[in-house]
Amino acid sequence: MMSGGYTSLDKDNEKISGSVLAASDPAHVTVKFAESNLQTFPPSQAQGKITGGFQPPRDADDTFLKPASGSDESQPSGWFRALTVTAYKPYFDVDTSDVLERIKDSLFPFKASFSEKTANNPDLYGPFWICTTLIFVAASIATFVTYLAHKLQKKEWNYDINLVTWSAGLFYGYATIVPLILYIILKYFSAPSGLVQLFCLYGYSLFVFIPALCLSVIPIEVFRWAIVGVAGFMSATFVALNLRNHIRSAGERWFLIVAGIFLLQVALAVVLKFYLFTVTV
C-alpha cells in the first residue's frame, strides 16, 4: 500500500540498510587471518640442518615428551643426560649431502682431511647405518657363497642364523669398543681426542668393506684375497692418516700408536675373509 509516497518496500530497505550499518560498526570484532609462514619453513630460529628448533606437539598426558621450558620439572644433568634422546640429537643433525661427502672422503684415504672437516660436526648417523648395512651385506653374501658351494657339490645346505648375530657383534662391537679404547689410550698419553669424533671416524672407515664384500661373491680365491687386502689397506690408511697429526703430540711413541691402529684395521679385513669366505662343506 502506498501512503504519502512512502511504501512498505521502503521500510524493508531501511531495515536492511540499518542492519548493514550495524554489521560494519567498528565496535564489532572483525576476523583477521594471519599470514602464512610456509615460505619461511623451517622456522628462522632453527639451529640445525634438520632438527633445528622444532618441537613436536605435546601429548595429552605429557607422559613421553620433554617438559616445556617454563616447567618446574628439573632436567637430567651430568651422566643422567646420556640416557635421554635429547643428548644425542646433535650427532644425528646431518643431511644426505653431508653423509655422502664423508663417505667419499673415506674412499680417498690419502687426502687425510676427514678429521678436519668433521671436527665441528661429527655425526653418529652415518656410522650407525654403515655398520647396520654391513651386518646384512656380510650375512647375506656369506650365506650365498656357502649355498653355491654346497649346491655345486650336491650336498645338503642349511641356513646359519649365527652369521647375522656374529656380524652384528663384530661390526657394532668393533665400531664401539676400538674407538673407546683408543680414546682412553690417547687420554693417557696427554693427546685426548673427542670420543664422538673417534666413533665417527671409525664408522665411516668401514664403508669400504661394503663394496668389497659384494665383490667377494666371485668364487676366485685369489681375487677375494686381493679385494679384502685392498679394502683393509684403504680402511687402515684412512684411520691412521687422519689420526697421525693429532697423535704426534703424544710424544715419541706416536708411531707405535699409529702402527697399532693400522694393523688392527687390517686384522679386521683378515677376520672377515676367514670367517665369511672360508667355506666348509
Q: Which pLDDT belongs to residue 10?
A: 53
Task: Tell me if 204 sits within 8 A of 74, measured CB to CB.
Answer: no
Q: Which pLDDT belongs to residue 133?
A: 95
26-45 average pLDDT score: 42
Q: Of 231, 182, 136, whose CA–CA distance to 144 is shortest? A: 136
Q: Tell me the pLDDT band of 202, cut-offs 50, 70 and 90.
A: very high
50-73 average pLDDT score: 40
Q: Which pLDDT belongs to residue 255?
A: 84
Q: Which pLDDT belongs to residue 159?
A: 75
114-138 average pLDDT score: 92
Q: Which pLDDT belongs to residue 238?
A: 95
The string over 209-228, giving b where at least 16 C-beta atoms fall within 10 Å of a residue's C-beta and e elsewhere, is bbebbebbeeeeeeebeebb
Q: Of the given ranges (7-11, 35-39, 186-190, 234-238), which has the lowest mean pLDDT? A: 35-39
Give one DSSP letter per residue of 25-52, joined into a string: -TTS----PPPP-GGGPSPTT--SSSST
Q: What are the distances in angstroms from CA 197 to CA 39, 140, 183, 192, 281?
A: 36, 30, 10, 11, 43
Q: Tell me the pLDDT band of 72, cut-offs 50, 70 and 90.
A: very low
In three-state secondary structure terms, 56 is coil
Q: Of 95, 132, 138, 160, whose CA–CA distance to 231 is shortest? A: 138
Give CA–CA dist 137/176, Å, rounded.
19
Q: Tell me the pLDDT band of 239, cut-offs 50, 70 and 90.
A: very high
Burial tier of 126 (Cβ tally within 10 Å: 0-12, 13-18, 19+)? buried
pLDDT in tens, 78-123: 666 667 777 778 888 888 999 999 999 999 999 888 988 888 889 9
Q: What is the mean pLDDT of the chain?
A: 75
155-184 average pLDDT score: 88
Q: Which pLDDT belongs to residue 235?
A: 95
Task: Tell me if 246 sits within 8 A of 116, measured CB to CB.
Answer: no
Q: Tell me the pLDDT band of 13, cut-offs 50, 70 and 90.
A: low
Q: Give the residue with greater pLDDT, 97 vs 34.
A: 97
Q: Which residue ranges make up each domain of the chain? A: 122-277
Q: Which pLDDT belongs to residue 80?
A: 67
162-168 average pLDDT score: 87
48-77 average pLDDT score: 43
The string over 60-86, giving b where at least 16 C-beta atoms fall within 10 Å of a residue's C-beta and e elsewhere, is eeeeeeeeeeeeeeeeeeeeeeeeeee
Q: Of the given ranges (16-20, 70-74, 100-104, 106-110), which has the lowest mean pLDDT? A: 70-74
